[in-house]
Amino acid sequence: MDSDMLAGVIEGILFGAGDKISLSELCQSLNKTPSEVRFAIEILKQDYQSRARGIRVVQVKDTYQLSTKPENYEYIKEITKRQEKTGLSRAALETLSIIAYRQPVTRIAIDELRGVSSSSAIQRLLDRGLICDGGRLEAPGRPILYKTTNEFLKTVGFSSLKEMPEYEVFSQGRQEEFNLEIMTNETPKKETSHEEMLTEMLEKATGSEPSAEAAQ
Amino acid sequence: MDLLIHLIQKNKIDICDIPIAAITNEYLAQIKTWQDMDMDVASDFIVMAARLLEIKARALLPQNKDQAEDEEDIQAKLVRQLIEYKVFKEISAYFKTREEREQGAIYRDPEYIPTNETEAPLEIDPVSLELCFKRLLFQQEEETEDIAPPQKIIRELFSIEEKILEITEALLQAGDEGVSFSELLHPDITREEVVVTLLSLLEMVKTSGLRLVQNRVFIDFQIEREVEKNG
* A70–B88 CB contact, under 8 Å: no
Could you say which DSSP state residue A210 is in?
A: -
Partner B contacted by A210 (CB < 8 A): no
Sort out which chain A residues have CB atoms less than 8 A from B50's CB and list them: none
| pLDDT confidence bin for A213, thresholds 50/70/90 | very low
Question: Which of B101, B82, B188, B61 has its CA nearest to residue A181?
Answer: B101
CB contact under 8 A, A167 and B87: yes
We report the CATH number of the domain holding residue A29 as: 1.10.10.10
- SS3 string, chain B, reads CHHHHHHHHHCCCCCCCCCHHHHHHHHHHHHHHHHHHCHHHHHCCHHHHHHHHHHHHHHHCCCCHHHHHHHHHHHHHHHHHHHHHHHHHHHHHHHHHHHHHHCCCCECCCCCCCCCCCCCCCCCCHHHHHHHHHHHHHHHHHHHHHCCCCCCCCCCCCCHHHHHHHHHHHHHHHHHHCEEHHHHCCCCCCHHHHHHHHHHHHHHHHHCCEEEECCCCCCCCEEEECCCCCC
Q: The pTM is what?
A: 0.61
Does B112 contact A at CB distance below 8 Å?
A: no
Strand duo A105-106 + A144-148: pairing: antiparallel
Residue A114 and residue A166 share a domain = yes
Mutate which of A86, A114, A131, A142 to disrupt the B interface (most B C-beta within 10 Å)? A114
Q: How far apart are CA A167 and CA A45, in angstroms?
A: 28
Give CA separation, A153 vs A58, A90, B87, in Å: 10, 18, 20
Upstream peptide bond of B62 is cis (omega within 30 degrees of 0):
no
Nearest to B104 among A73, A100, A160 (CB): A73
Residue B135 has what pLDDT?
A: 81
In a shared domain, residues A65 and A105 = no
pLDDT above 80: residue B129: no
Model confidence at A210, in pLDDT bands (50, 70, 90)? very low
Q: Do the beta carbons of residue B184 and residue B170 sit within 8 Å?
A: yes
B196, B213 Cβ separation under 8 angstroms? no
Query: How near does any CA of chain A get to the CA of B184, in Å?
Result: 25
Condensed to tens digits (0 to 9), the pLDDT of residues A73-98 reads 888 888 877 777 788 888 899 999 99
Tell me whether A4 touches chain B (CB under 8 Å): no
d(CA A85, CA A17) in angstroms, rounded, equals 24
> By the CB < 8 Å criterion, does B210 face chain A?
no
pLDDT for residue B54: 76
Taking CB atoms and an 8 Å limit, are B108 and A94 in contact across chains? no
**Is residue A50 one of the residues assigned to a domain?**
yes
Q: So what's the pLDDT on residue A43?
A: 92
Chain segment A15-61, per-residue pLDDT in tens: 988 888 999 999 999 999 999 999 999 999 999 998 899 999 999 98
Q: What are phi and psi of A116, to 5 degrees?
A: -135, 170
| Residue of A68, A93, A96 with shortest CB distance to B105 | A68
| Cβ–Cβ contact A115 with B under 8 A | yes
Q: B45 CB near a chain A CB, below 8 Å?
A: yes
Residue A89 is assigned to a structural domain of this protein: no
Q: Which structural domain range is residue A59 located in?
A: 3-69+196-215
Q: B188 — contact with chain A (CB < 8 Å)?
A: no
Q: Are B7 and B27 in contact (CB under 8 A)?
A: yes
A113 touches chain B (CB under 8 A): yes
Q: Which CATH architecture has domain B158-231?
A: Orthogonal Bundle (1.10)
* Residue range B150-176: mean pLDDT, rounded: 76
Q: Same structural domain for residues A18 and A64? A: yes
Backbone angles phi, psi at A119, to 5 degrees: -65, -40
Asked if B107 and A67 come within 8 Å (Cβ–Cβ), the reply is: yes
Identify which of A186-195, B140-149, B152-161 has the greatest average pLDDT: B152-161
Residue pair A194/A5 in contact by the 8 Å Cβ criterion:
no
A-interface mutation test, from B41, B97, B99, most A Cβ less than 10 A away: B99
pLDDT at A189 over 50: no
A67 vs B contacts (CB less than 8 Å): 105-107
Contact between A115 and B81 using a beta-carbon 8 Å cutoff: yes
A100 within some domain = yes
Alpha carbons A182 and A53: distance in angstroms, whole number = 19
Q: Is B40 an 8 Å CB contact of chain A? A: no
Cβ–Cβ below 8 Å for A16 and B113: yes
Asked whether B110 and A17 are in contact (CB, 8 A), the reply is yes
Rounded CA-CA distance B203/A94 in Å is: 33
Cβ-defined contact of B108 to A18 (cutoff 8 Å): yes
Q: In the predicted model, what is the mean pLDDT of chain B?
A: 73
Q: Distance between CA atoms of B112 and A131, rounded to whole angstroms? A: 28
Distance, CA of B93 to CA of B95 (rounded, Å): 5
Between B65 and B100, residue with greater pLDDT: B100
Is B107 an interface residue toward A (CB < 8 Å)? yes
Question: Is A75's Cβ below 8 Å from some Cβ in B?
Answer: no
8 Å CB contact between B108 and A18: yes
Q: Are residues A200 and A177 in the same domain?
A: no
**What ipTM goes with this model?**
0.75
pLDDT at res. A39? 93
Domain boundaries, chain B: 2-102, 158-231
The reply to whether A132 falls in a domain is yes
Size of interface A-B (CB pairs under 8 A): 131
| Test the A interface: residue of B31, B48, B107 with most A CBs within 10 Å | B107
- Residue B85 phi/psi, 5-degree rounding, is -60, -40
Indicate the pLDDT class of residue B44, thresholds 50, 70 and 90: low
Q: Is A146 helix (H, G, I), strand (E, B) or coil?
A: strand
Cα dihedral angle (B50, B51, B56, B59), rounded to 10 degrees? 140
Pick from A98-112, B118-132, B151-165 the range whose average pLDDT is largest: A98-112
Residues of B in contact with A215 (CB under 8 A): 229
Q: Count other Cβ atoms within 10 Å, centred on residue B227.
A: 9
**A79 domain-assigned:** no
Q: How many domains does chain A fold into?
A: 2
β-bridge pairing A55-60 and A63-68: antiparallel
Q: State the amino acid at position A169 in one-letter form.
A: V
Cβ-proximal residues to A38 (8 Å cutoff; 6+ apart), any chain: A23, A201, A212
